[in-house]
């Protein structure tokens, strides 16, 4: 006389092989996939930002506070130069002779842009000074050296 529940069937009106349509969505596999993707991207993100390995000298200095994105110039131990500027060039290696026109383009676009020079510990002092002087000559007046903090802080 009464109604039957979806999971239970009465003995009289049984139909074989036919089930009621499932109306709820199982989100557990979706959540599992999203968590795996989150972990993959969390592991991969620091690897994508890794640049050219440079053995920076240690020194007692405080971190710079900057609101804008600086221009990173890296001098490797063998004297090659890397230019990290997403607005103008890709990160590639080149010689000092090619640095002046690249810095001139950046100086035209943003003359008050900060230039941070990462010089390898094994690089010659002359090659790092050449990069700093090219930045000044191009019109970028705020060029600074980057060091690795030794934990003592500024005195």
Sequential pLDDT tens for the chain (155 residues): 555 555 555 555 555 667 777 778 888 999 999 999 999 999 888 777 656 666 666 666 666 566 567 888 888 888 788 877 544 455 566 777 788 888 888 888 888 888 888 888 888 888 888 888 888 888 887 888 887 766 655 44
Other residues' Cβ atoms within 10 Å of the Cβ of residue 90? 8
pLDDT score of 114: 86
The token pair at 102 is: 């690249």
pLDDT score of 10: 53
pLDDT score of 5: 57
Please state the three-class secondary structure of 18-48 as a single string: CCCCCCCCCCHHHHHHHHHHHHHHHHHHHHH
CATH architecture classification, 71-147: 2-Layer Sandwich (3.30)
Euclidean distance between CA atoms 129 and 8, whole angstroms: 85
Which residues does 152 contact at the CB level (< 8 Å), separation at least 6? 60
Euclidean distance between CA atoms 152 and 31, whole angstroms: 46
The CA R_g of the chain, rounded to the nearest whole Å, is 30
Tokens 């499932």 found at? 22
pTM of the model: 0.54
């Amino acid at each position: 006389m009464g109604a039957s529940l979806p999971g239970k069937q009465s003995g009289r009106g049984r139909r074989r092989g036919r089930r009621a349509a499932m109306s709820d969505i199982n989100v557990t596999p979706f959540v599992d996939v999203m968590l795996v993707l989150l972990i993959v991207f969390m592991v991969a993100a620091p690897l994508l930002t890794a640049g050219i390995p440079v053995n920076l000298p240690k020194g007692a200095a405080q971190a710079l506070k900057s609101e804008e994105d600086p221009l990173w110039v890296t001098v490797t131990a063998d004297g090659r130069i890397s230019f990290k500027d997403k607005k103008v060039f890709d990160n590639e290696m080149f010689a000092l002779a090619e640095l002046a026109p690249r810095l001139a383009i950046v100086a035209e676009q943003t003359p008050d842009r900060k230039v941070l020079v990462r010089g390898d510990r094994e690089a010659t002092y002359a090659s790092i000074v050449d990069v700093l002087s090219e930045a000044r000559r191009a019109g970028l007046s705020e060029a600074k050296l980057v060091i690795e903090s030794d934990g003592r802080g500024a005195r």
